[in-house]
Amino acid sequence: GAVVSQHPSWVICKSGTSVKIECRSLDFQATTMFWYRQFPKQSLMLMATSNEGSKATYEQGVEKDKFLINHASLTLSTLTVTSAHPEDSSFYICSARQGAGEQYFGPGTRLTVT
């Protein structure tokens, strides 16, 4: 099946710094990628949808200036958490799809802000 990778798998950063998370589709071209956020023991909440070459569409309540999403190629999307704070600590999961096909999920990135 299709494989989606995320890097890094976990990261610890200091409050006020920025962190970039990469999401890659390894064996298919992802026209659309989704970014989800998962708090401990809770469900996944969609943050934004990004189409290759276009600006991301953010869900209500998600700060686009804080969570910068770039989808510059058909195999790579990045999420940058700017000026991170402890409340941004979470598990971030991306998914990717080709056309109108199935979504494939990455393994997730655990962010801890100290």
Partner 1 sequence: AQSVTQLDSQVPVFEEAPVELRCNYSSSVSVYLFWYVQYPNQGLQLLLKYLSGSTLVKGINGFEAEFNKSQTSFHLRKPSVHISDTAEYFCAVSNQAGTALIFGKGTTLSVSS
Binding residues vs partner 1 (CB under 8 A): 4, 6, 32, 34, 41-46, 49, 93, 95, 97, 99-103, 105-108, 110
Q: Which CB sits closer to partner 1, 78 or 106?
A: 106
Shortest Cβ 85–partner 1 spacing (Å): 22
Shortest Cβ 22–partner 1 spacing (Å): 14
The answer to whether 68 and 82 are in contact (CB under 8 A) is yes
Distance CA 86, CA 75 (A): 30
Q: Which CB sits closer to partner 1, 15 or 57?
A: 57
Q: Which CB sits closer to partner 1, 10 or 83?
A: 10
Shortest Cβ 92–partner 1 spacing (Å): 10
